């Protein structure tokens, strides 16, 4: 499990921040889909955008998992 987290936690890589942005967008789409009075057209549009967001986030996640894990940090005295 720790090895998987190390592959995901790569804040120096732009893909990591793109993945974070997709997750924030997912929360936004979830909120937008729950708005009262949403027209049917808007509901279909937000649903399509949310599904495209999921596919893009999974593609970025897959790229992060395939990337080599960052090197373990060394102690300052070594």
Note down pLDDT in tens along the chain; length 78 residues. Answer: 777 777 788 888 899 999 999 999 999 999 999 999 999 999 999 999 999 999 999 999 999 888 876 666 665 555
User: Residues with Cβ < 8 Å from 29, sequence gap 6 or more?
Assistant: 46, 49, 50, 53
Please tell me what DSSP assigns to residue 67. S
- For residue 14, CA distances in Å to 19, 28, 41 come to 9, 21, 34
What is the DSSP secondary-structure string of 22-54? HHHHHHHHHHHHT-TT--HHHHHHHHHHHHHHH
The dihedrals phi and psi of 45, each to the nearest 5 degrees, come to -65, -50
Q: What is the pLDDT of residue 33?
A: 92
């Amino acid at each position: 499990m720790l090895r998987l987290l190390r592959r995901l936690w790569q804040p120096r890589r732009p893909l990591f921040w793109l993945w974070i942005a997709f997750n924030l967008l997912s929360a936004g789409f979830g909120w937008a889909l729950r708005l009262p009075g949403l027209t049917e057209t808007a509901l279909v549009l937000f649903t399509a955008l949310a599904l495209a967001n999921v596919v893009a986030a999974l593609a970025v996640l897959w790229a992060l998992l395939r990337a080599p894990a960052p090197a373990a940090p060394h102690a300052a005295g070594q």
